[in-house]
Chains A and B, each alone.
Chain A
């Protein structure tokens, strides 16, 4: 009577007070035609990769005022992947999400110009934003994924300011969804996704059932430019505004940044003429 039943989806849908019958129909639909993915993509506003970073004089952080910001490069790759899924008719809707101050809307607009259908801005400002960690973000993403009834969440593998590489993994855990991180290739096969992952030892291919969380790595794709006509069309797309509290997420900091410093200036190297000299120098410095 019940073909392969998606318990996870069942629970999440029941918890969002959906109608039981619809659940069953949805599961069936999902079985036969997993073509209609609703994709949630996280996009983060970070300092532009080309900018020379400067540490604040009081060592409390880096200078962000008046500095050029743009979308995190890995988030761009995530967005591009979502758009390609839509072009292949595998995804039916793409929702771009960003947590941050008012300027985060610019990043969402860029995502809309790349091809997202609508945006969600979770407004977090000031000290709360400075102390926001991947755990906070992943709680918001998880709740959003449930509320929006997404069945695929694509995130960048890490942000170039935090370099945490945690949000994707935590989101999957909170949702109890499978995860495929460091994706360099994503292919849809019937009811699951085949993902090639770039790991230290080489390439690993995994299959994940849907719904799932994917984090994008560098070679997944080459993101398109947001063309000017698309930027103008994106004006008409909607961005919904929310606060973290709307999702029942408490932004009390769990971490405290004690200090931020420049990396030590690299010492000049020394040239040696022979291996004997090398060994002698190493012995002198106490390394050997």
Chain B
């Protein structure tokens, strides 16, 4: 029985003492859509999860229990998964799409008929109105063909997202219905030859015409997915904006909805790419394209924010898409490993091969846990629209790199066969390479993650500092205790592991995950102290310390992955899902491995590291423009006499 002697609560009615949402009824009497929705006015819900890690705070209520759908939505989702899976199995010839560098018209029409072009468009505009979680689930299936996945994402995750989040009622009613059915295809036009990661430096201009009724768009965009087939573009251009206070005229980015039918729009020929060859990517030129002022998306001058909001919103689904690919590859590759015999044994009996599969499975587990945790936080946030951009960025960075390494490992298991075009592995590898580049390069996202986190921590620390200066005893004692405690490696316990067999108030991890959770706790404490140390050491200059920021980002990405994995395994145990013991093993192992990586990075951050030397080497090479070291065989004339002569003893 239980060590605490407490009465065991029935699993279905885990009581949350400070709100009545257990029964699905909010304290106000409102029926809750999601069984895990909680009280809006609780202070813990001021900001989503990850930023708080930077100050050593682990807000367990935001990540435990792992998000879940109610039974009705879950059943409906399962129903939707079937036809989509069948379509991709029977009617999609990925090899042909890759060879032809084109998606056949019937396949595209099939996707439109299935309803996949309007997954998140609200029901009233003819879409499916799917939540982020449901969208992520279907993303697992569409990812099986990279070109199709990118075509769909370019259309709805970024192409028409602008209209959905920043459009006014007229714009939505005018454009969304046809976009939802796929009658019109959308594209997102931001990138220019001189503006990739630096999106604010775009040069396409939109000048207000003399009549004041429309803007004239001039400029060129490159690498626009769906650029050749789109009817509706979300275009970003610089407009002159008069600052209302100072009267100064500035150039600011504005977002426009541009129809191809407006005229003056030309698309170049499709780019010949390494991967996702079936996806149409081309340049798009605008020459005096008239855009009515009603088509300004959001406010004139507010385009940059619109762009960032659009891009931030869709990133998390890369976790589930990536996991979908890796899981499928595990199955295919396992078939090879269980049948192929070498040295009189099946491949699967060799530990090196076992490690490869474990690595792939752990990464897939982490990717999907992070993706659905993020989607769940977004879906169940009281009041909607939390800023989960950092979480989404973390999912994207982790998933893109994990997919690349996992696909490479899967190819490796097959050896020479994996290298052949007959097998799909080389195509998956080529398709996966783009993941680290588009939707925000991983380098930029790492900087974003670290800087947003640091800024959050910095602001809070500034407040604390003020209080300390004022002589606020409470804060002083707290700081001392934190420092002292962390110094001994025993930081404040976040108490997110439950002591008894059942998970207490519902916001804790199951005890079987104690091993992993304790490591996570330790890392959270370490991060809290490390952030303070770094800010004290570098101050505002930390923005330039990219190698430091990179480590901080990697550490926090790992911690978010650990959180997601512990939360999900917890849910598996509590719900009694099949094979939950395997999940617990995976979760604890993942935490141990990632903890080890993190400790190495903490060590590098705290003490000596090779950063300065590495930067010098890099700078020298870039200054010269090539490899500097002399050739291994190089010699000079004068030193003939000092050839190798053993010393005379």
- Could you tell me how many residues of chain A have their Cβ less than 8 Å away from some Cβ of chain B? 14
Contact B79 A231 (CB under 8 A): yes
Docked CA distance A70–B89 (Å): 15
Residues of A within 8 A of B (CB): 66, 70, 106, 109-110, 113, 225-229, 231-232, 235
13 contacts across the A-B interface (CB closer than 8 A)? A106-B78, A109-B75, A110-B79, A225-B86, A225-B87, A226-B82, A227-B113, A227-B115, A228-B83, A228-B114, A228-B119, A229-B126, A231-B83
Contact A229 B115 (CB under 8 A): yes
Known: A66-B578, A232-B128. A225 touches B83 (CB 8 A): yes
Residue numbers in A under 8 Å from B80 (CB-CB) = 228, 231
- Per-position 1/0 for B98-126, Cβ under 8 A of A: 00000000000010011110010001001
Select from chain A the residue with minimum beta-carbon distance to B579: A66
A-B interface pairs (CB < 8 A), number: 42
Docked CA distance A109–B79 (Å): 8
Contact A228 B87 (CB under 8 A): no
Contact A228 B128 (CB under 8 A): yes
Select from chain B the residue with minimum beta-carbon distance to A48: B82
Residue numbers in B under 8 Å from A109 (CB-CB) = 75, 79
Known: A66-B578, A232-B128. A227 touches B79 (CB 8 A): no
Select from chain B the residue with minimum beta-carbon distance to A113: B79
- Per-position 1/0 for B54-96, Cβ under 8 A of A: 0000000000000000000001101110111011000000000
Q: How large is the interface on B (under 10, 10 to 19, 20 to 34, 35 or more residues)?
A: 20 to 34
Contact A235 B82 (CB under 8 A): no
Known: A70-B82, A225-B86. A106 touches B75 (CB 8 A): yes
- Per-position 1/0 for B271-298, Cβ under 8 A of A: 0000000000000000000000000000
Closest Cβ of chain B to A223, distance in Å, is 10
Residue numbers in A under 8 Å from B86 (CB-CB) = 225
Residue numbers in B under 8 Å from A232 (CB-CB) = 76, 123, 128
Contact B83 A226 (CB under 8 A): yes
Residue numbers in B under 8 Å from A225 (CB-CB) = 83, 86-87, 110, 113-114
Residue numbers in A under 8 Å from B114 (CB-CB) = 225, 227-228
Docked CA distance A226–B123 (Å): 18
Residue numbers in B under 8 Å from A229 (CB-CB) = 115, 126, 128
Known: A106-B78, A232-B76, A235-B76. A227 touches B83 (CB 8 A): yes
Select from chain A the residue with minimum beta-carbon distance to B578: A66
Closest Cβ of chain B to A153, distance in Å, is 25
Residue numbers in A under 8 Å from B84 (CB-CB) = 228
Question: Most A CB atoms within 10 A — which of B75, B83, B110, B119?
Answer: B83
Docked CA distance A109–B76 (Å): 9
Contact A231 B113 (CB under 8 A): no
Docked CA distance A213–B86 (Å): 30
Closest Cβ of chain B to A230, distance in Å, is 8
Docked CA distance A173–B123 (Å): 47
Residue numbers in B under 8 Å from A227 (CB-CB) = 83, 113-115
Contact B75 A228 (CB under 8 A): no
Residue numbers in B under 8 Å from A113 (CB-CB) = 79
- Per-position 1/0 for B123-152, Cβ under 8 A of A: 100101000000000000000000000000
Residue numbers in A under 8 Å from B82 (CB-CB) = 70, 110, 226
Contact B76 A231 (CB under 8 A): yes
Question: Most A CB atoms within 10 A — which of B75, B110, B119?
Answer: B75
Select from chain A the residue with minimum beta-carbon distance to B138: A228
Select from chain B the residue with minimum beta-carbon distance to A103: B75
Select from chain B the residue with minimum beta-carbon distance to A230: B115
Question: Most A CB atoms within 10 A — which of B80, B82, B110, B123?
Answer: B82
Docked CA distance A227–B86 (Å): 11
Question: Most B CB atoms within 10 A — which of A110, A113, A226, A227?
Answer: A227
Select from chain A the residue with minimum beta-carbon distance to B86: A225
Select from chain B the residue with minimum beta-carbon distance to A225: B83
CB within 8 A of B115: which of A66, A106, A228, A235? A228
Docked CA distance A231–B128 (Å): 10
The 3 closest A-B pairs by CB, nearest first: A228-B115, A225-B83, A229-B115
Select from chain B the residue with minimum beta-carbon distance to A232: B128
Residue numbers in B under 8 Å from A70 (CB-CB) = 82
Residue numbers in B under 8 Å from A235 (CB-CB) = 76
Closest Cβ of chain A to B332, distance in Å, is 15
Select from chain B the residue with minimum beta-carbon distance to A71: B82
Docked CA distance A228–B80 (Å): 6
